[in-house]
Structure 1
Amino acid sequence: MLLTVCLTVSVGFAQAPAEHTLKAAYLYNFTRYIAWPDDAWSEGQQEFVIGVIGNNPFDTTLDQIAGKRLAQKRPLVIKYFKTLADYKPCHILFVAADSPADVHAAILRQTRNQPVLVVGERTGFAEDGATVNFVLLPDGSIRIEMNIDAMNRGRMQTSAQLLKLATVVRDRGAE
């Protein structure tokens, strides 16, 4: 069901390569299938923020989605952070694959125990502590890995529908 919704959202957003168009649709749809705790919004904050750190692989796709959609009944805002020093708190943070390993590790340290859905596309990133990792399969489809330990640390809850689509993983070394 989520994949169908993702494909529906991605229609008409052909500027980014198909892989990243689908990933952008997943990022938006996570807002529909994951619940954030009330304290994920600072006092007076009305926006739902998706951040991208590193080079933006989505072209204008995320901005186009944000211009047409709400996220959890809130205006959807996309913020781009070129470096770790630019990072500001957000609800979903996509870490581009070309970001250096030390940036991946620093983001995981900085967001640990925070209600931030950290999403990446690097082998082993979910087991390292990211909440979600995209895995590109040989046939061009995308599998999502979801780290339930990271979900619990961030006090986020996911729907059963999303869990059925995901490969559930745990932190490296967790039992």
Structure 2
Amino acid sequence: MFLKKVIALFLILISLYFIPFSYARNIVEEYQIKAVYLFNFALFLSWPRYVFKHPNQPFRICIIGDDPFGIDLDLVIENEKVERRRVIVQRINSIKKSKYCQILFVSQSERSRMANIFTYLRRHPILTVSDMKNFANLGGMIQFFNTPNNKVRFIIVPETVDEAELIASANLLQIARIVHRR
């Protein structure tokens, strides 16, 4: 059953990859697409074993700042599991509350606090994701962007991912635009 879900979600991702956003807008809104990507990042990355202190500890996808997803991310993760762990969404207003997150979406409202966010996160294996312009250049791991023909894509910075002790699958790297840190 789990394998079928992974395959189905992967096929959705691939189909979204090839459908122009302007066409997909009638079917799925931009943040619905990003919500699917965000959940699927959890399926194509690995976290160190020490991250989960208890066998029943959930896999947390957190959003810091203004929430652009609304209910969309909650709907995507409903009844889903990552490595047999229940997936939950948490909205947080302080970077210190991100300590138990596995994925942290950094809202555009947090631009002025980026230095503090990255300073704090250096001590934790948390995947950082945003659609903020220059997020990858500032120290983020994955940055969403829209192509000129309005397709949602993402940049990944492998060095930053590696430093956080995360392992990105070859499949994820294959569909990403790879950017190396300067």
TM-score (norm 2): 0.80
- After TM superposition, list the pairs within 5 Å mapping 1:50-61 onto structure 2: 50-61=61-72
What is the one-letter code of the residue matched to 1:76?
V
Post-superposition offset of 1:114: 2.1
Counterpart contact for 2:98–2:104, Cα < 8 Å:
no
- After TM superposition, list the pairs within 5 Å mapping 1:15-164 onto structure 2: 18-43=29-54, 46-84=57-95, 86-101=97-112, 103-164=113-174
Q: Give identity over the alignment, percent.
A: 27
Counterpart contact for 1:51–1:80, Cα < 8 Å:
yes
Contiguous gaps of at least 5 residues in structure 2: 1-6, 17-24
Counterpart contact for 2:131–2:145, Cα < 8 Å:
yes
1:6 aligns with 2:13: yes
Q: Output the CA distance in 1 between the equivalents of 2:106 and 2:44.
A: 20
Counterpart contact for 1:97–1:120, Cα < 8 Å:
yes
What is the one-letter code of the residue matched to 2:40?
N
Post-superposition offset of 1:39: 1.4
Spell out, residue by residue over 1:64-83, the C-alpha distance to the aligned partner (whole angstroms, 9 max, x if none): 12222112220001000134
Q: Output the CA distance in 1 between the equivalents of 2:58 and 2:64.
A: 18
Counterpart contact for 2:108–2:130, Cα < 8 Å:
yes
Spell out, residue by residue over 1:101-137, the C-alpha distance to the aligned partner (whole angstroms, 9 max, x if none): 2x22221111115210000112221122111110122
**Structure 1 residues 151 and 3 mapped into 2: Cα distance closer, same or farther (>3 Å)?**
same
Q: Secondary structure at the match of 1:99?
A: helix
Contiguous gaps of at least 5 residues in structure 1: none
Higher mean C-alpha displacement, 80-89 vs 162-171:
80-89
Post-superposition offset of 1:3: 6.2
Counterpart contact for 2:56–2:85, Cα < 8 Å:
no
Q: Secondary structure at the match of 2:174?
A: helix
Post-superposition offset of 1:170: 2.3
Q: Output the CA distance in 2 between the equivalents of 1:128 and 1:99.
A: 13
TM-score (norm 1): 0.83
Post-superposition offset of 1:100: 3.0
Higher helix share goes to which structure?
2
